Amino acid sequence: MLDKNGIAKRIAKEIKDGYYVNLGIGIPTLVANYIPEGVNVVLQSENGLLGMGPFPFEGEEDPDLINAGKQTITTLPGSSIFDSAMSFGMIRAQKIDLTILGAMEVSENGDIANWKIPGKMVKGMGGAMDLVASAKNIIVAMQHVNKAGESKLLPSCTLPLTGVNCIKKIVTELGVFDVLPEGGFKLLERAPGVSVDEIRKATAGKLYADDDVPEMVVG
């Protein structure tokens, strides 16, 4: 079973040299810490920055320089700043190679719900609907089950949707899954020490697993 950093570490392996990547809030943010040496990646922050760097040193925070999570950040050499229209323009035009974001639910056909729980205060979708509707490659980073113990990999989403038929891959504390074009979750890798049966029990949607699903190698 992986912890949050383990999920982030595993996802980092999906990032290829030369990728422009948008990281959502939460576990996705952690992915930046595990991008391998020698893999050149540019992080986009959808408030208007390409080339996001690490947090600033104490005392060097710049209120004019934040990321989409409103955190103070830095820029790397070669970064560029642009307005919100261009930022979402490049997202819509699929110039961003990979989007990694969290989810409350993902369905067998790649629908995602991650912005609204009926009856609870709704904060808004921010840029999530734009990202999931446009990105050519989306990986969801999330816990496999919710706090009530219910699976978040479902036959169909029960919560209001963020986007339809858009998620390609999911990494949870239990494993790595492809969302198949014909529908269903294909188990690609088991988290260390986790059996296919355990995963099957935690997955409400249709799960496809070969007999010899490998255990993942993290880090």
Catalytic pick among 46, 108, 173, 189: 46
Task: Render the burial of 189-207: b for 16+ CB within 10 Å, e for the rest.
Answer: bbbeebebebbeebbbbeb
Smallest gap, in angstroms, from Cβ of residue 98 to another protein?
A: 13
Residue 32 to residue 11: CA distance in whole angstroms: 10
Instruction: Say if CB 205 and CB 155 are below 8 A apart.
Output: yes
By C-beta, is 123 or 147 nearer to another protein?
Answer: 123
- Residues in CB range of 91: below 8 A, 6 or more apart: 22, 44, 46, 127, 130, 131, 134, 135
By C-beta, is 69 or 184 nearer to another protein?
Answer: 69
By C-beta, is 35 or 191 nearer to another protein?
Answer: 35
By C-beta, is 81 or 218 nearer to another protein?
Answer: 81
Smallest gap, in angstroms, from Cβ of residue 153 to another protein?
A: 19
What CA dihedral angle connects 105, 161, 13 and 70, to 10 degrees? -110
What CA dihedral angle connects 194, 195, 198 and 200, to 10 degrees? 120
Counting every residue written for the chain, the total comes to 219
Smallest gap, in angstroms, from Cβ of residue 78 to another protein?
A: 3
Q: Which two tokens stand for residue 44?
A: 């986009």
By C-beta, is 110 or 175 nearer to another protein?
Answer: 110
Smallest gap, in angstroms, from Cβ of residue 57 to another protein?
A: 5
- Please choose, from the candidates 17, 72, 26, the residue with its C-alpha nearest in 3D space to the C-alpha of residue 49: 72
Smallest gap, in angstroms, from Cβ of residue 106 to another protein?
A: 14
CA 193 from centre of chain: 23
Annotation says 58 is catalytic: no
* Residues marked as catalytic: 46
